Amino acid sequence: MHSFMCEAALFPNLVRVSPRRWLNLQEYQSKKLMQDSGVTVQHFFVADTASEALEAAKRLKAKEIVLKAQILAGGRGKGVFDSGLKGGVHLTKDPVVVGELAGKMLGFNLTTKQTPKEGVKVKTVMVAEALDISRETYFAILMDRSCNGPVMVGSPQGGVDIEEVAATTPELIFKEVIDIFEGVRDDQALRMAANLGFKGPLERQAADQIKRLYDLFLKVDATQVEVNPLGETPEGQVVCFDAKINFDDNAEFRQKAVFAMDDTAESDPLETEAAKYDLKYIGLDGNIACFVNGAGLAMATCDIIDLHGGKPANFLDLGGGVKENQVYVAFKLLTADPKVEAILVNIFGGIVNCAIIANGITKACRELELKVPLVVRLEGTNVQEAKRILSESGLPITSASDLDDAAKKAVAAIAKK
């Protein structure tokens, strides 16, 4: 449902907070957060066993029940389980069937277009009341730099890719700038509800849901709350059927309960380990590991490696306040990847002290007994001292004069092997 393309299409000045790692919440967890803020969602229960799913289905006393496998990857509806069951989302009117289907989901791997080839093991299912939707709309609250704060965006065209709506029918995208001190005013909420196509009593009901969603946005320190669809039922209810919430990682210290729900089971283990040390790591499919400070420099390093015929194995950003121990951990992570055949260190020290990097490099090389070629380019704060540390270490480290030289030497080092 959600994509960064959507944000870019709607808000070119969108603030992108640079997180240590995206906080991952399962669907039922996002629904619980909304429910706790008074937002209307389907009645639901969570189950870890087939018998719990059966009991939950009975307790719902719903005309129709929807059973959903809880994994982070998209495309569940068209996924396949290694139990033979097709589809991670099922509708039924019989609670007994819910128990039977849950038995073919729980403990089995579900493979979708977004999972690894082996799929992801399903440990939890959500048993929810199935509601008919007579009309679907789109609604989101997100941060926009040009407005110095949050903005509401909505469209009467929901349940589809919002970037497609923005590109083909931009007149169906409506925006309301929120004053961070006043919050969402009644007239703004009502105007947005009307623009979304809600009429009569539903307009007031939708406006109330919009205000509650903004309360949630503030309460959990979100950078985005996106509801697609915000739907209307034949019975005259406005319901948030599906939502994506992004959180500001800088607020973790006061959102401990939210961050404690983080599900890392489906994340890259190296990425998860890196996050523990405030390192930003993204695995790629090449063989030259990149060890860089600053996201922009990291991207440039990857590009220049590619330009010289190499392929980056990762995107690893140390950030500004790096310590010697983080350098050691970074090397440990890089060498844990069996694809890595060379390491390129590219540091431009402004905030970063190059001597700290150099000490970390020499310690890591000795203690980890580095077996792959290492190319180092250092520039900036305390660089002469850093170069002295490296040259006197007696370690087989290749120095580079600039980024272009470093990339050439890293690619050449692999070619010689």
146: Cβ–Cβ under 8 A, 6 or more apart, which residues?
11, 13
- Residue 212 token pair: 């509650």
Sign of the torsion formed by the C-alpha atoms of 240, 245, 251 and 254 = positive
Beta strands at 288-292 and 342-349: parallel, antiparallel or unpaired: parallel
The reply to whether 359 sits in an annotated binding site is no
- Of 226, 232, 271, 324, catalytic: 226
Other beta carbons less than 10 A from residue 93's beta carbon: 12
User: Binding site annotation covers 384?
Assistant: no
Distance of alpha carbon 293 from alpha carbon 14, whole angstroms: 23
Kindly give, in sequence order, each residue whose CB lies less than 8 Å from that of residue 160, ignoring residues fewer than 6 positions away. Answer: none
Buried b (16+ CB within 10 A) or exposed e, 72-91: bbeebeebebeeebebbebe
Peptide bond preceding 170: is omega within 30 degrees of 0, i.e. cis? no
Residue 162 labeled ligand binder: no
Q: Would you state the structure tokens that stand for residue 82, as one six-digit string?
A: 């290694």
Q: Annotate 123-187 with DSSP letters as a single string.
A: --EEEEE----SEEEEEEEEEEGGGTEEEEEEES--SS-HHHHHHH-GGG-EEEEPBTTTBS-HH
Q: Which amino acid is at 105?
A: M
Distance (Å, whole) CA 100 – CA 54: 8
Active site residue 226: yes
Q: Is 375 annotated as a binding residue?
A: no
DSSP codes, 333-391: HHHH-TT--EEEEEEEESSS-HHHHHHHHHHHHHHTT--S-EEEEEEETTHHHHHHHHH
Q: Say if residue 135 carries a ligand binding annotation.
A: no
Is 228 a known ligand-binding residue?
A: yes
Beta bridge partners of 110: 81, 120
* Annotated active-site residue in 27, 28, 138, 324: 138
Any known ligand binding at 131? yes
Residue in 310, 155, 161, 136 with CA at minimum distance from that of residue 239 = 136
Show the DSSP H helices in 67-127 as ranges. Answer: 95-103
Is 138 one of the annotated active-site residues of the chain? yes
Q: Is 84 annotated as a binding residue?
A: no
Q: Is 75 annotated as a binding residue?
A: yes
Strand order in the sheet with 65-69: 44-47, 125-129, 65-69, 89-92
Catalytic residues: 138, 226
Output the known binding site for substrate: 293, 350-352
Output the known binding site for GTP: 42, 75-77, 131
Output the known binding site: 42, 75-77, 131, 228, 242, 293, 350-352
